[in-house]
Chain A
Amino acid sequence: MRRIPVTLSFTKHTLANGLDVLLHEDHTCPIVAVNLWYHVGSKNERPGHTGFAHLFEHLMFEGSQHHDRGYFQPLQGAGATLNGSTNADRTNYWEVVPSNALELALWMESDRMGYLLPALTEAKFSNQRDVVLNERRQNYENRPYGLAPMALLSALFPPDHPYHWTTIGEVADLHAVRLDEVQAFFRRYYHPANASLALAGDIDSDEALAMARAYFDELEPGDRVDPVDASASLSSDTRIFFEDRVELPRLYLAWLTPAMFAEGDADLDLGTDLLANGKTSRLYRRLVFDERIATDVSAAQNSREIAGYTQITATAAPGHTLDELEHAILEEMARLVAESPTDDEMERGRVQAESQFVFRLQTVGGFGGKSDQLNAYNMFLGDPAYFDRDLARYQDVTHVSLQQAIARYLAPSRRVTLSIVPHGRVSLAAADSERAVVS
Chain B
Amino acid sequence: MSAPDTASAAREIKIDRSRLPEPGPARPFAFPAIEKSTLPNGLRVWTVCHPQVPVIAFDLLVRRGASADPHGKDGLAALTADMLDEGSGDRSAIEMHEALARLGAQFDTDIGSDAASVSVTVLTRFAGRALTLLADVVARPALRDDDFTRVRQLRLHRLTQLRDMPGVVADRAFLKLLYGSHPYGHSPIGNEAALAGMTVDDVRAFHAAAIRPSVATLIAVGECDHGAVVRLATEAFGDWCEASGDAVTPDGAVPAAAALNIIPRSNAPQSELRIGHVAVPRDTPDYHPLLVANTILGGQFVSRINLNLREDKGFTYGARTAFEFRRLPGPFVLQVSVQTTATARAIEESIGEIAGIRGPRPVTSEELALGIAALTRGYARNFETAEQIARAVMQLALFDLPDDYFAQFVPAVARVTTDDVSRVMARHVDPARLTTLIVGDLDVIGADLGALGLGDPVVLPPDAF
Contacts and interface: CB of A to CB of B under 8 A. Distances in A.
B374 A79 contact: yes
Contacts, number: 242
Interface stretch (A103-111, A229-237, A322-330, A400-408): A103-111
B89 interface: no
A279 interface: yes
Interface stretch (B34-42, B151-159, B250-258, B418-426): B151-159
Contact of A76 (B123, B165, B300, B385): B300
A356 B241 CA distance: 35
A142 B374 contact: no
Contacts of B14: 214
A245 B164 contact: yes
Contacts of A358: 53-55, 123
A131 B316 contact: yes
A81 B295 CA distance: 13
A221 to B, nearest CB: 13
A176 interface: no
B93 A279 contact: yes
Given A29-B384, A144-B161, A278-B97, A354 B123 contact: yes
A79 B18 contact: no
Interface stretch (B100-108, B183-191, B390-398, B449-457): B100-108
Given A134-B315, A144-B164, A362 B20 contact: no
A136 to B, nearest CB: 9
A361 B166 contact: no
Interface residues of B, number: 85
A142 B317 CA distance: 13
Contacts of A347: 102
B8 A292 contact: no
Given A96-B378, A351-B103, A78 B373 contact: yes
Interface residues of A, number: 92
A67 B19 CA distance: 8
A101 interface: yes
Contact of A142 (B105, B269, B385): B269
Contacts of A382: none
B98 A79 contact: no
Contacts of B54: 4, 358
Contacts of A206: 7-10
Contact of B377 (A79, A111, A207): A79
Contact of A280 (B98, B307, B311, B374): B98
Nearest to B96: A279
Interface stretch (B25-33, B196-204, B285-293): B25-33
Tell me which of B11, B104, B125, B310 has the highest count of chain A C-beta atoms within 10 A of its own C-beta. Answer: B104
B59 to A, nearest CB: 15
Contact of B378 (A79, A129, A217): A79
A318 B55 contact: no
Contacts of B383: 29
A363 B121 CA distance: 15
Contacts of A317: 153, 157
A359 B377 contact: no
Tell me which of A97, A130, A134, A213 has the highest count of chain B C-beta atoms within 10 A of its own C-beta. Answer: A134
A4 B104 CA distance: 13
B378 A348 contact: no
Interface string B145-178: 0000010011001101101111000000000000
A76 B377 CA distance: 9
11 contacts: A72-B302, A73-B370, A99-B27, A101-B377, A133-B339, A137-B337, A210-B13, A246-B161, A352-B101, A358-B55, A358-B123
Interface of B: 1-2, 5, 7-11, 13-15, 17-18, 20-29, 52-55, 93-94, 97-98, 101-106, 121-123, 125, 150, 153-154, 157-158, 160-161, 163-166, 268-270, 300-302, 307, 310-317, 337-339, 369-370, 373-374, 376-381, 383-387
